[in-house]
Each structure stands twice: as C-alpha cells, then as structure tokens.
Structure 1
Amino acid sequence: MAADLSYAGKRVVVSGCFSGMGEATARSLLELGAEVHGLDYKDTNLNLASFTKVDLRDPASIDAAAASIGGKIDALFNCAGLPQTFPAIEVMKVNYMGTRRMTEQLLPYMGEGSAIVSISSNGGLGWSQRIPLLIQVLQIDGFEAAVKWTEEHSSDVAEGYALSKELIILWTMMMGVPFIKRGIRINCTQPGPTQTPMMKDFETATPAGVLTGAMQPINRRSTPQEQANALIFLNSDLATYINGVSLPIDGGFMGGLATGQIDITAMMAAAAG
C-alpha cells in the first residue's frame, strides 16, 4: 500500500505552489519522490524540477506556461485561487476560467492512469441549487466568451467566489465521464476554513460568525498540510476508482449540515447581520 502512495518516477504539475495548500502539496510531492513542475504568479523557494510564472487571468500566459512544461504529465494539482477581496472578474478568471484552461492545455500531455485534482471550497456548497445556471456557464466555449458572460451577469456572479467554486464542483462531476474514457481521473476537494496566508482576506470579507460556524463540529481550522494530504491521496494510485467526486475536507461540517446538526440558518443570519 505504501508503494501506491509513492510518486517516485511521476511527473506532476502544481499550480499555486507559492504558498498555502499548493506549497504544502508541492513540498510533500517532492518528499514522495515526484518530479514537480510548479506554476504561480509569485516565485517559489522550493527546489522544483521547473518553475514557470503564470497569470491565470491571461489565456496567453496560461498557454505559454503549459507549452513550457511539455512532456508526459502523470498528475495535475490545481491549487491556485483568489479570495473574494479581489474584483469579481479576477476571481472568476483565476478560480474557474484559468483553472479550466490550464487543465485543458495540459490534457494532451496526460494519458492512461493520470489524474487531476482541483481545490474548490465549502463556499461552493450551493452548487446543487444553481445547476441550470452553472451548466449554462460550463457550456460556454472559450476563455474570452466566459469573460463576456461574467461581465454581462453581475447579479449572478456577485463577489465571484461562490460561483467560481460551484463551477469547479460541477465541472469536475461533468468531466469525470469523458475524461475517464481516456483513462484520466478528475476530482476536487471542498476545504473548510484553512489557516493559509489567504485566510486574512476571508476574515476581512466574511462575518466572524460564519467562519466560526464553518469550523464546526471540529472547532478548529485545517492546516494546509491536511488539505494537501487529501489532494495527494486523490491523485495517487490508492484512489484509482475515485472519479468525478467533490470531496469535503472540512472536519465534518458538510455531514453536520446534511443531518441537521449544524444550523445553516444561524450562519446565514450572521452573514446578513
């Protein structure tokens, strides 16, 4: 079983490797023997096989970064993201459009037995209530067309964060079917509150009562490493039958919500107040 978790001899790509969950993921993959190629807007101090600066808001930058990596890719870890303190259009570009385009650009380098995992969020938990809208966006062909839709639907987009994370969840589920026919698995995670450098932005934008509620029932924030562990598992040979799944990594929050043990109305009241 230990061999199934090893990444020895595997060539992997980690976007968002500068800090937080992405850095923890890249660092752990190095320890597990992977050849790690990093992508980020900011430079990394990790000793990677290669590092390419990329701006996920810019399709030309994405395409150039993907081409620079080239070669066979065994696993892709989409860890880059922006919080809701940034302009909504930028949040949508990085969290959804850029993540999707990077995946599509790297897909030709992936084959039988490879895997993709993306970071969504429990902030996207409302995805099942907006499936028609999400499918409408998912069916838009191309980065620029998706930007145009975003600019024309500001009321649906709102702050951009929730919608972008909902899109990643449903996109993962939808792509699980065509990708697996090529032997490629795709999954995503839904982290609960995690103590990364980005947390200060969430604290600025989110009422304290909402953040406290989202930590239930475990009553603490996750570490970046705890989130990285789940990402590494999902792309490993231990998870070869897991596909098209959005996995909550939240200390039991979603389970408590589903069984009525956590009161979502109290959290909504805190958000409104």
Structure 2
Amino acid sequence: MSDFLSYKNKRVLITGCFSGMGEATARLLLQQGAEVHGLDYKECKLPLASFTSVDLRDPASIDAAVARIGGKVDALFNCAGLPQTFPAMDVMKVNFAGTRHLTEKVLPLMSAGGAIVSISSNGGLGWSRRIPVLMGALQVQGFEAFMKWCEENAETVREGYAFSKELVIVWTMLLSQKLIKQGIRINCTMPGPTQTPMMSHFESATKASVLEAAAQPINRRSTPEEQAGPLVFLNSDAASYVNGVCFYADGGFMAGLATGQIDPRSLMGG
C-alpha cells in the first residue's frame, strides 16, 4: 500500500494536526513513510518531523510558521477548520482567508509533482447556486482586504461556516486551472458528518434531525480515519491525473440528493 501511495521520502505539511481529521491524516501519512511537518494552534502529540504553532487568524503567524519550516514541500494538507459556533469572522479567517494565505506562502516551496488538498464540507453544497457571489469574493486578494470584504458583506457571510466551505470548493476549481500548468494539483474533499471533537459544536448549533438527514443513506457518521484515506489518496502519486475535484466522502449522501432519493427538505430542520 505504501508503494502505491508513494509517500516514502516525501516531505508534507499538514494543518489541523492536533485532533480530528487532521490528526488521523497525519497519523496515516506517518504510516506511509512521509516526513510530516505539522501546524496547529494546539500542539500535536504525534512523532512528527516538526511541529509549529500557528494561528490561521493571523497572517504574520502564518508567514513565520512557513519560514520556520522552509525547504521543499511535496504535499500540503489543509485540514484546520472552525465550526459555526465561533465568531463568524474567526471562522472565515481559519476556514478560508488563513488557509488561502498559507497555501500561497507554501506554493513557492513546491515544484512539479506537488499536490494540495483541503477539507471543505457537505455544508458547502450550495456553492453552485452562488457562483457570482463566490467568484466576486475570490477576486479580493490579500488577507486583510478579503476580511474587509467579509465585514462589509456580513449578510452574505452569515455564520461563516457554509460560506467559507463554498469558497474552498470554488477556489479549488479556479486554482486548479493555473497550478496544473506548473505541474501542481489541487483538490478538496466534502466530508459528511464525522465523529470528531468538533462534532459537539455542530450538535449544539444544528438540529439532530438535520445531522441525521445528512448521514443518509449510510445512516452513521464517518470516523476521522475514513476521511483521512481520501485526503492521503488525493495528494498521492496514485491520483496524478486528479485535479480540481471536489471529492465526496459522505457515504453516498450527495448521490442520493442528485438522484432524488434523499429529500433536500430534510436538511431544513422542519
């Protein structure tokens, strides 16, 4: 399996390695022989090649973290995120503005054959209905300018979670067209409900019936390890022709919506 995924002698960066999907992904990468450098707000206990504390809400913190790691980077895993129970602007900073800034700082360390994957969410499934707004937001370059746009468009941003995840999806598609000309791929995953420490926040902010509906048709939540597999695959050489993809890791939920076998009204909480 390690030869198939080709992580031996590869140097990778991963955010959000303290817990949940990020920790599970870091653990799997270590098992596959990668040299893993972790970034998070809280310290990771795994035997990483290095750990650097970073606050994705602060571009200076991001710059310092990337400078500290330096060297060649073969793969970047954007796994850090905040749920909708945090202040909306903090959610936007961590889930998108900081993630984009970090990616832009890491890109000069990557060369042909490099790969990037980010965690979006099925919470961003409305992206296709808001393309003009999302494209407009993505035209705003720079961390501070983007956050100013968010503050001026608070009614669009709302709680921050859904909008930030929609942005990750469309940003992935847009950037994939440019980066592939440098031989670098970028993809994202759209997990369904996953039993991580963050789940308690979703449970406090979302009706149980909605979470149950989002777990159809498999009718259970995924484990962090079940989300780590697709992330590690997408950044591996085995996925060398996969680019600009939003990979559904949701037990068949989106397929059920698309074919009318899951009623979208079940997500309204009514």
CA RMSD in angstroms, aligned pairs only:
0.8
Q: Give the equivalent residue in structure 1 for 2:150.
A: 150
1:146-185 matched pairs, under 5 angstroms:
146-185=146-185
1:141 Cα deviation from its structure 2 partner: 1.2
Q: Give the equivalent residue in structure 2 for 1:72.
A: 72
> Residue 169 of structure 1 aligns to which amino acid in structure 2?
I
Q: Distance in 1 between the 2:157 and 2:57 partners?
A: 16
Q: Give the equivalent residue in structure 2 for 1:123.
A: 123
1:1-273 matched pairs, under 5 angstroms:
3-268=3-268, 270=269, 273=270
Q: Distance in 2 between the 1:35 and 1:3 partners?
A: 15
1:2 Cα deviation from its structure 2 partner: 5.0
TM-score normalised by length of structure 2: 0.99
1:4 Cα deviation from its structure 2 partner: 2.8
Q: Distance in 1 between the 2:246 and 2:146 partners?
A: 23
How many residues were matched structurally? Answer: 270
Give 3-state SS (helix, strand or coil) of 1:130's partner.
helix
Q: Distance in 2 between the 1:237 and 1:152 partners?
A: 42
Q: Distance in 2 between the 1:98 and 1:219 partners?
A: 33
> Residue 87 of structure 1 aligns to which amino acid in structure 2?
P
Q: Percent identity?
A: 70
Q: Distance in 2 between the 1:175 and 1:266 partners?
A: 33
Equivalent pair of 2:84/2:202 in contact (CA under 8 Å):
yes
What are the Cα deviations for residues 135-164 of structure 1, in whole angstroms up to 9, with x where unaligned? 111000100001101111111010000000
Give 3-state SS (helix, strand or coil) of 2:63's partner.
helix
Q: Distance in 1 between the 2:13 and 2:266 partners?
A: 40
> Residue 49 of structure 1 aligns to which amino acid in structure 2?
A
Q: Distance in 2 between the 1:101 and 1:4 partners?
A: 31
- Structure 1 runs of 4+ aligned residues shifted over 4 Å read none
Equivalent pair of 2:75/2:114 in contact (CA under 8 Å):
yes
Equivalent pair of 2:2/2:33 in contact (CA under 8 Å):
no
Q: Distance in 1 between the 2:266 and 2:17 partners?
A: 35
> Residue 21 of structure 2 aligns to which amino acid in structure 1?
M
